[in-house]
Amino acid sequence: MPKTLIAGNWKMNGSLAANERLWLELAAGLAAGGTGAAQAALCVPAVYLEQMQALMAQSGVALGAQDVSAQASGAYTGEVSAAMLQDFGVQYVIVGHSERRQYHGETDAVVAAKARAALDAGIVPIVCVGETLEQREAGETASVVGGQLAAVLAVLGADAARAVVAYEPVWAIGTGRTASPEQAQEVHASLRAQLAEAGAQDVPLLYGGSMNAANAASLLAQPDVNGGLIGGASLKAADFLKIIASAQ
């Protein structure tokens, strides 16, 4: 059985000193308890990739980034290419996080192009989809997340089978308000059906949005929840270790 992917999303947090402290605590916990049924990953700010690559070497925890340019190189001030991420041993990159869609105007087309650029460099894109509270209340959840996924599937074609998809309801991100296991499973089942139609039924489906040490086990127990994308709780070693241990 494939491992449960537990990916931390540090967002714009950390410092050289804080990262090292957090890592040493995580490493000590992992040395004691192992990762069991989980594949752990940390998606860190780009400037800390070099530091974390060195600290995490040989640990079995995968290194991830939080964004990637859709372009290969050139006059794109401030952007980081997939090849640059590859230089630092990056294995996963988050694309289409709702914070980037919201604050940076990333469209479905941009998200799809970023996923394509990542895969072309041998990096697994963690493609985020999710509805706002307004959209959920209007009964639009399935059409919104379905549309976001469809845009990516159309561009990736058969390569979609090498991606990871994260369902992150916008109303649950950083709010302490988590989707219930049943709500998560309902959306995951529809994403699974859509992936199956595209020949990518085995794509791991992560849940994200206020996943924490207390609720991880019940979310991860759902048949179509294959892991988690964890923001706030990934910044606390004890909590992240508990989520890793919740993977069965």
102 interacts with ligand PGA by CB under 6 A:
no
State the Cα–Cα distance between residues 210 and 216, nearest whole angstrom: 9
Report the amino acid identity of residue 93.
V
The answer to whether 168 is a known catalytic residue is yes
State the Cα–Cα distance between residues 122 and 209, nearest whole angstrom: 27
Residue 183, phi then psi, degrees to nearest 5: -65, -45
State the Cα–Cα distance between residues 242 and 176, nearest whole angstrom: 17
Minimum separation from the CB atom of position 176 to ligand PGA (A): 8
Q: Tell me, residue by residue from 189 to 208, as one string, x for binding to ligand PGA by CB under 6 A and - for no binding.
A: -------------------x
173 interacts with ligand PGA by CB under 6 A:
yes
H runs (alpha helix) in 96-139: 98-103, 108-120, 133-137
The answer to whether 97 is a known catalytic residue is yes
Q: Binding residue for ligand PGA (CB under 6 A) from 9, 35, 66, 185?
A: 9
8 interacts with ligand PGA by CB under 6 A:
no
210 interacts with ligand PGA by CB under 6 A:
yes
- Catalytic residue chosen out of the listed positions 97, 106, 131, 188: 97
239 interacts with ligand PGA by CB under 6 A:
no
Evaluate whether 99 touches 56 at the Cβ level (below 8 Å): no
44, with CB counted inside 10 A (0-12, 13-18, 19+), is buried
Q: Binding residue for ligand PGA (CB under 6 A) from 22, 231, 237, 241?
A: 231
Dihedral sign for Cα 75, 151, 203, 140, please: positive
Minimum separation from the CB atom of position 237 to ligand PGA (A): 15
Binding positions for ligand PGA, 140-169, rule CB under 6 A: 168
- Catalytic residue chosen out of the listed positions 79, 168, 182, 197: 168
Report the amino acid identity of residue 54.
A
Site residues (vs ligand PGA, CB under 6 A): 9, 168, 173-174, 208-211, 229-233
Catalytic residues: 97, 168
